[in-house]
A and B are shown apart, each in its own frame.
Chain A
Amino acid sequence: MTDALTVKMRARKLNFCYGDNHVLHDVDFDIYSHTVTALIGPSGCGKTTFLRTLNRMNDQVVGAKLDGEVSIDGEDIYRPSVDVTALRRRIGMVFQKSNPFQKSIYENVAFGLRIAGVKDRRILDETVEDSLRLSALWDEVKDQLDKPALMLSGGQQQRLCIARALAVRPEVLLMDEPASALDPISTAKIEELIEDLKLRYTIVIVTHNMQQAARISQFTGFFYMGDLIEFGQTAKIFTTPTQKRTEDYVTGRFG
């Protein structure tokens, strides 16, 4: 499996500060195409912050400073000439708490397309259906596309947010604890989804659920207090980790 892998995104010597708070120290990270990479670690270790540097969502935070390089397909995304809005259409994000807009199901999924200027109804219809199928929601909502998105259940809303993110055809999908607010059945559905999605996308997922990371990811990065302690193939991280702290965490000695 490893010989066919290419690096999709890469971070080198990444340092990040919120004001005086130095949150990420010298992180070197590789994300491979068409894989699921899990970021694990105890609360506050910086894994979510790291995730957000990948699509420059931290730009909006007052006092945020980044040092180092983050690149996609070899291009540095923090160069001043980079168009952030275009970047975010290549790298999509799904949030921990599902946040569909106060619009209809259809309009939620179509949102990204509309702001990109797509007006052709045919393309919109096609892409909306396609995205909803990809996120395994189509059958459940195909007759109710005009209904408000907020009337869906928690699990359905999260799948809607995934569909919404997929509609703009990103290359990478970042997921911040996507199932943490959901019941076990919805969680299982989402994990199934992620398995299928990796065939076409590259996925990076933050999770505090180690079993989940072990189930669905091929690569795992363990963060602790802003440092990337260990990175490698999931199987290895969970069975024979090289760092003691990694071993302590995955065996549940702290967390």
Chain B
Amino acid sequence: MANMQAHGPVALVQRRRWRRLFSPLPLITGFLTLCVVLMLVVILWNIVAGGVGRLTWEFLTTAPSQGMTAGGIFPAIFGTVFLVILMTIAVIPLGVATAVYLRYYARPDAWFSRAVQIAVKNLAGVPSIVIGLFGLGFFVQFVGVGIDKSFFGGEVTMGQPAILWASLTLALLTLPVVIISTEEAMRAIPTDYLEASYALGATRWQTIRRVVLPSSMTGILTGGILAVSRGAGEVAPIMFTGAAYFLPYLPTKLNDQFMELGYHVYVLSTQSPDVDATLPLLYSTVLVLLLLTFALNALAVVVRARLRVRQAV
């Protein structure tokens, strides 16, 4: 046995193994993948390193001062939270209802439901700046001005950038996220459950309310969380519909303007009179925004994982 020379088929295998080790494609693509990971690491590292220094409790709870070189960004955090809450109130009921419609009320062949499906798909692809344009032209300048004319005798109350309009604009942007996530959760419900409910004499709405919605709750939550994460990070839709750089007050009424984390980063980056002085504050703001976004995304992943476990039971 030990004297067997390695030639013939065995040698072929050995040679192949060499070639496999050094064949180009796996190496190249592996390297490229590594680069992608590196990109993420570099960006995160830079932001964390630059921003963590200023990240104190004081930073999160006080207002900016001394021309944005000191203080904190509490108003921006407040504005972002308020904005996103309003957005959620608008987007979740509408998104869930649309998903329910598409799955349980629409006849699959009817032209109307096909149209709604296409509308949702395309809404997801509209650039955020176009939605911002729509928000300005429609909500602020058309609906807002119309409300002013009808209810306030022409006095400018709603016909100006306001947190209400900004949140509605964001709701439009994130509507597809909620719809798709809810649909995904509903699709996981086996038809047996529905049949059992109908066989017991339930109406369609009763079945939806008592069987479908409770089972889809995780999916709805996931969609909501992802929508919030997206909404907190987008700037283009709120640029002309209500965000402001510096306000001495916090937004309390629906027609107030507001400070916002992402918008703050944008303005501070591009229009700061003294870039070096405001840089620390800017870095920390970016870090806060990033942490917020990542925390929300991670939460959505956890919720979605729980959904899978439950459905597997």
When A102-B214, A102-B215 are in contact, do A116 and B201 touch as well, CB less than 8 Å? yes
Q: Establish whether residues A164 and B200, one from each chain, have CB atoms under 8 Å apart when the complex forms.
A: yes
Is A86 at the interface (CB under 8 A from chain B)?
yes
Q: How many angstroms between the C-alpha atoms of A61 and B196 in the bound complex?
A: 15
Residue of B nearest to A97 (CB): B192
Q: How many angstroms between the C-alpha atoms of A115 and B198 in the bound complex?
A: 11
Within 8 A of A (CB), among B198-223: 198-203, 206, 210-211, 214-215
Within 8 A of B (CB), among A197-220: none
When distances are taken between beta carbons in the complex, the residues of chain A under 8 Å from B193 are: 99, 101-102
Is A111 at the interface (CB under 8 A from chain B)?
yes
Q: Residues of B within 8 Å of A, CB-based: how many?
A: 22
| Per-residue interface assignment for chain A, residues 148 to 164, with 1 indicating a CB less than 8 Å from any chain B CB and 0 otherwise | 10100000000001001
Q: How many angstroms between the C-alpha atoms of A100 and B107 in the bound complex?
A: 27
Q: Establish whether residues B190 and A102, one from each chain, have CB atoms under 8 Å apart when the complex forms.
A: no
Is B126 at the interface (CB under 8 A from chain A)?
no
Is B58 at the interface (CB under 8 A from chain A)?
no
Q: Residues of A within 8 Å of B, CB-based: how many?
A: 29
Residue of B nearest to A57 (CB): B199
Q: Contact check: which of B109, B192, B201, B214 meets A115 at CB < 8 Å?
A: B201
Q: Establish whether residues A111 and B201, one from each chain, have CB atoms under 8 Å apart when the complex forms.
A: no
Q: How many angstroms between the C-alpha atoms of A252 and B210 in the bound complex?
A: 45
Q: Establish whether residues B195 and A88, one from each chain, have CB atoms under 8 Å apart when the complex forms.
A: no
B220 to chain A, nearest CB (A): 15
Q: How many angstroms between the C-alpha atoms of A164 and B313 in the bound complex?
A: 20
Is B141 at the interface (CB under 8 A from chain A)?
no
Q: Contact check: which of A62, A97, A103, A115 meets B200 at CB < 8 Å?
A: A115
When A85-B202, A89-B201 are in contact, do A95 and B210 touch as well, CB less than 8 Å? no
Is A165 at the interface (CB under 8 A from chain B)?
yes
| Per-residue interface assignment for chain A, residues 88 to 99, with 1 indicating a CB less than 8 Å from any chain B CB and 0 otherwise | 110011010101
B120 to chain A, nearest CB (A): 22
Q: Contact check: which of B210, B214, B313 meets A114 at CB < 8 Å?
A: B210
Q: How many angstroms between the C-alpha atoms of A101 and B310 in the bound complex?
A: 12
27 A/B residue pairs, CB under 8 Å, sorted by A: A57-B198, A62-B107, A62-B108, A62-B109, A85-B201, A85-B202, A85-B203, A88-B199, A88-B200, A95-B192, A99-B192, A99-B195, A100-B196, A101-B196, A102-B193, A102-B214, A102-B215, A111-B210, A114-B210, A115-B200, A115-B210, A116-B201, A150-B313, A164-B200, A165-B199, A165-B200, A168-B201
